[in-house]
Amino acid sequence: MNNSHYDLVIIGAGMVGACLASLLSRSGFSVALVEAREPRPFDSKDDVGLRVSAISPGSAAILEQAAAWKAVNASRNRPYRRMQVEDGVESDPLLFDAPAFNMERLGTIVENALLQWSLWQVVGSGGLVDVYCPDQLDRIEFGDNSNHVYLQSGKVVAATLVVGADGAVSGVRKALGIRQDHFSYNQQGLVAVVRKQKPNPGVAWQRFLSGGPLAFLPLEDGRSSIVWTQPSDQAERLMKLDAEAFNEELDRASEGWLGQVESCGPRAAFPLSMRLSECYASKRTVLIGDAAHVVHPLAGQGVNLGFADAAALAESLIRVRLAGGDIGSAKVLQGYDRYRRSESEAMAFGMHALRSLFSIDALSPARRIGLAVVKRSWTIRDLFLQRAAGVGKNAPRLATGASLRDLMQA
């Protein structure tokens, strides 16, 4: 394919943008994908990367339709069937077991580098997507029937619909002039790969501590990828500790779980924030993934929300195309905006409430009553799990078993 007018131009080939490019190109749309940096090839001989994601079953189904899940599944990943949540005070943890909810697995821990590389391979080969890389968005000229995207290389591409998948500091959102609520948690997520005395048996474990949650996510070789949320000053202090002192602190924080820390690899820390855009679509342009919303990582939902955005948008555009409509019309954009904004705001505020519940004094009646209700109520746990698994009642059809072919025949 080689033209400069496309059905869609997607800015950003992170996990979310590349997933959308694959879904839409495989559904017959002409797609251009613009990316600033080509991802590094994934090599399973390298050690496990510091950035991993808990991929929900719903996202795995979407990635299967994007033709990327097979490669992910054949490489380094670790499914988990149990989620164990502790509050650091009560002795009995809150358990979520996949079979109790009629699920085969609750999710799969996958390195971001593997996901991104698998998607990049799909969109970069096969000739279905025109990839502009390395290149960057310079500006967008908005028009009534199409938009013109000017790239820093001097190239210009026109499209019926422009998609901003360019991450939290989105240039597309800026070009649209969309306002965003930005709440900094004044916390950082410290990540590292850790070996404990006993191998991780395939459990996503999380303990809520006074500074924030500490998660151990299982890896294929029995190690765990940790995300340790801490107030920024504490995270900076932990980053500066030598290995022995750091391991001692981690031991204290994770006492009783898989024995002592045996080793810990390099550490990195990321500032945490919640960002909610006041609208996700305008002027023949939509936002997906972190460009539209950023949520606290305590339930590992950020990229899962992004995959659901990509699936929802693909479904809507396929429907419109089948009916002979305009994929960039205001009506189509409003439908996407309403649906995805309500879903991600519900998730963002849910994470916010959970974080607030666990940040209040451990002995406070509000916290104890809140936790007791969650522990006893199967309905609440079921609802929580369905949402976390990406298969709740408002999930896109591609997340719950429909194929692109099903959608195109509808």
Q: Which residue in 11, 317, 371, 391 binds ligand FAD (CB under 6 A)?
A: 11
The DSSP secondary-structure symbol of 287 reads E
- Judged on CB neighbours under 10 Å (0-12, 13-18, 19+), 242 is exposed
Please say which residue, 11 or 48, places its beta carbon nearer to ligand FAD: 11
Looking at the DSSP bridge assignments, the partners of residue 80 are 107
Least Cβ distance, residue 1 to ligand FAD (angstroms)? 19
Q: How far is CA 324 from the centre of its chain?
A: 32
**DSSP H or E run through 397:** none
Cβ-proximal residues to 131 (8 Å cutoff; 6+ apart), any chain: 13, 32, 33, 35, 123, 124
Least Cβ distance, residue 9 to ligand FAD (angstroms)? 11
Stretch that binds ligand FAD, among 7-15, 237-245, 342-350, 352-360 (CB under 6 A): 7-15
**DSSP H or E run through 301:** none
Please say which residue, 346 or 360, places its beta carbon nearer to ligand FAD: 346
Q: Residue 405 is encoded by which pair of tokens?
A: 């072919």
Q: Which residue in 8, 14, 86, 124 binds ligand FAD (CB under 6 A)?
A: 14
Please say which residue, 306 or 328, places its beta carbon nearer to ligand FAD: 306
Please say which residue, 34 or 261, places its beta carbon nearer to ligand FAD: 34
Please say which residue, 57 or 297, places its beta carbon nearer to ligand FAD: 297
The answer to whether 67 contacts ligand FAD (rule: CB under 6 A) is no
Looking at the DSSP bridge assignments, the partners of residue 364 are none
DSSP string, 93-109: PEEEEGGGGT-S-SEEE
Q: How far is CA 348 from the centre of its chain?
A: 12
**DSSP H or E run through 227:** strand 224-231
The answer to whether 58 contacts ligand FAD (rule: CB under 6 A) is no
Please say which residue, 13 or 264, places its beta carbon nearer to ligand FAD: 13
Per CB under 6 A, contacts with ligand FAD among 360-399 are none
C-beta of residue 341 within 8 angstroms of C-beta of residue 279? yes
Per CB under 6 A, contacts with ligand FAD among 162-201 are 165-167, 171, 189, 191
Count of chain residues binding ligand FAD (CB under 6 A): 32
The answer to whether 37 contacts ligand FAD (rule: CB under 6 A) is yes
Q: Which residue in 79, 289, 328, 390 binds ligand FAD (CB under 6 A)?
A: 289
Least Cβ distance, residue 253 to ligand FAD (angstroms)? 16
φ/ψ of residue 212, rounded to 5: 145, 175
Please say which residue, 174 or 375, places its beta carbon nearer to ligand FAD: 174
The answer to whether 57 contacts ligand FAD (rule: CB under 6 A) is no
Residues near ligand FAD (CB under 6 A): 11-17, 34-37, 53-54, 136-137, 165-167, 171, 189, 191, 227, 270, 289-290, 297, 300-304, 306
